[in-house]
Amino acid sequence: MVDPRYIGVFHAVVRTGSYTAAARSLGYSQPAVSQQMRALERSLDTPLFLRAGGGLELTEAGRILAAHAESVVGDLTAAGNKIAAVRELRSGSIRICAFPSASATLVPRAVARATERHPDLRIRLSEAEPPDSLEALRRGDCDMALAFSYPDTAEPCGEEIVGRAVLDDPLVAVLPTGHELAGSESVELAELAGQRWIAGCPRCREHFTRACSAAGFEPDIAFTTDDNLAVQGLVAAGVGIALMPALVLSFLRHPNVVGRRVAGLEHRRVTAYALREQHRIPATASMLDTFGEVGAEMSLGDDSQL
């Protein structure tokens, strides 16, 4: 193997015509250049220069190496510049996996802010509900995962994953506009015990049934879907009522439904996750911080959202 540093010095010698001139252009001492060229010849087991007429002349092996040295030095220089750009966040890319309501709310705000600060940052988005998004992170299919959890379904992240809290997302009761409790400021979950329900994704459904059990009843689940638009359409049509994260209602609302706070119901937590090793990469660390900033600025569950 040839030390690439020797190739750079060799290229300088060929370009300038002497060890002394190469040393001057590189900021080295002349003996240091001479020593590296001897080391390069030893590693290749052949001479590269002949002294002729007080100057240097390339051997046949030297001419072969010189034909490649310029492109090698150019490629190494370009690679170094690109790495510096990534390190300094002038460029880089990041793959984000998020659940749908985060993709429509948190991700656009965070990406807009990140690319305003770092215009050459490139971002690719995919969607998955947790725990699938965290499995994608562990497999290396993404660099960051936005996921949600409940106090009774907290993520067992392990030491290899770091998380940044983004926001607490309240759950609200989604009712048809003509519902008897639609005019209330908030409702108790127990008040809705006799209703037919539309349930969402498996993780939300599990938390929902536990909350109902704690409120003293078993919900009558008439329909299940993880499509938030379909849930609202079913509620508007009178098929049943639903619990829905306020994050969804902040960007998607059927005109014939209302959202009402549910007193005493625990919020779901939204967190941005990355592998601990990936967190050392500037683009990932910066994006985690950006999601934290965006989440802290959002206000969910107040009257303007519901």
Q: pLDDT per residue over 248-299, tens digit each?
A: 999 989 999 999 999 989 899 999 998 888 887 888 888 999 999 999 998 7
Asked if the peptide bond before residue 219 counts as cis, ω within 30 degrees of 0, the response is: no
**DSSP strands (E only) in the chain:** 49-52, 55-58, 92-98, 121-127, 144-149, 161-169, 171-176, 186-187, 196-199, 220-224, 242-245, 257-262, 268-275
Q: Are 166 and 271 in contact (CB under 8 A)?
A: yes
Asked if 126 and 50 sit in the same domain, the reply is no
Q: Which of 59, 88, 117 is the last residue of a domain?
A: 88
pTM over 0.75: no
Amino acid at 197: W
Asked if 119 and 74 sit in the same domain, the reply is no
Asked if 279 and 160 sit in the same domain, the reply is yes
Asked if 77 and 29 sit in the same domain, the reply is yes
Q: How far apart are CA 71 and CA 76, in angstroms?
A: 8
Please, how many CA atoms are within 13 Å of residue 18, restricted to the half-sphere of its CB? 9
Asked if 52 and 109 sit in the same domain, the reply is no
Q: What is the pLDDT of residues 166-213, one digit of tens each?
A: 999 999 999 999 999 999 999 999 999 999 999 988 888 999 999 999
In which band, very low, low, confident or very high, does the pLDDT at 84 lie, cut at 50, 70 and 90?
low
Q: How far apart are CA 124 and CA 93, in angstroms?
A: 8
Q: How far apart are CA 153 and CA 204, in angstroms?
A: 10
Asked if 61 and 34 sit in the same domain, the reply is yes
Asked if 148 and 174 sit in the same domain, the reply is no
Give me 17's structure tokens.
């015509």
As beta bridge partners, residue 241 has 197
Q: How far apart are CA 48 and CA 153, in angstroms?
A: 68
- We report the CATH number of the domain holding residue 176 as 3.40.190.10
Please, how many CA atoms are within 13 Å of residue 237, restricted to the half-sphere of its CB? 9
> Average of pLDDT values for 142-146?
91
Residue 306 lies in a domain: no
Residue 42 lies in a domain: yes
Asked if 239 and 118 sit in the same domain, the reply is no
Residue 108 lies in a domain: yes
Residue 104 lies in a domain: yes
> Average of pLDDT values for 100-104?
95
Give me 288's structure tokens.
């985690």
* pLDDT beyond 90 at 159: no
Residue 305 lies in a domain: no
Residue 36 lies in a domain: yes
Asked if 174 and 258 sit in the same domain, the reply is yes
Q: How far apart are CA 43 and CA 302, in angstroms?
A: 72
Q: Which of 25, 57, 88 is the last residue of a domain?
A: 88
Question: How does 114-148 read in b/e, with b if 16+ C-beta sit within 10 Å?
Answer: beeebeebebebebbbbbebbebbbeeebbbbbbb
pLDDT above 70 as % of the chain = 92
- The 8 Å CB, 24+ separation contacts for 31-34 are 33/9
Residues spanned by the domain of 96:
92-166+268-300
Residue 238 has a pLDDT of 95
Asked if 177 and 131 sit in the same domain, the reply is no
Among 274, 25, 11, which Cα is nearest to 144's? 274
- We report the CATH number of the domain holding residue 45 as 1.10.10.10
Residue 177 has a pLDDT of 96
Q: Which of 42, 70, 88 is the last residue of a domain?
A: 88
In which band, very low, low, confident or very high, does the pLDDT at 304 lie, cut at 50, 70 and 90?
very low
Asked if 279 and 210 sit in the same domain, the reply is no
Residue 151 has a pLDDT of 85
Give me 213's structure tokens.
């059990």
Q: How far apart are CA 10 and CA 207, in angstroms?
A: 67
Specify the number of domains making up the chain.
Answer: 3
Residue 248 lies in a domain: yes
Asked if 288 and 143 sit in the same domain, the reply is yes
Q: How far apart are CA 124 and CA 104, in angstroms?
A: 14
Mean pLDDT computed over every residue of the chain: 88
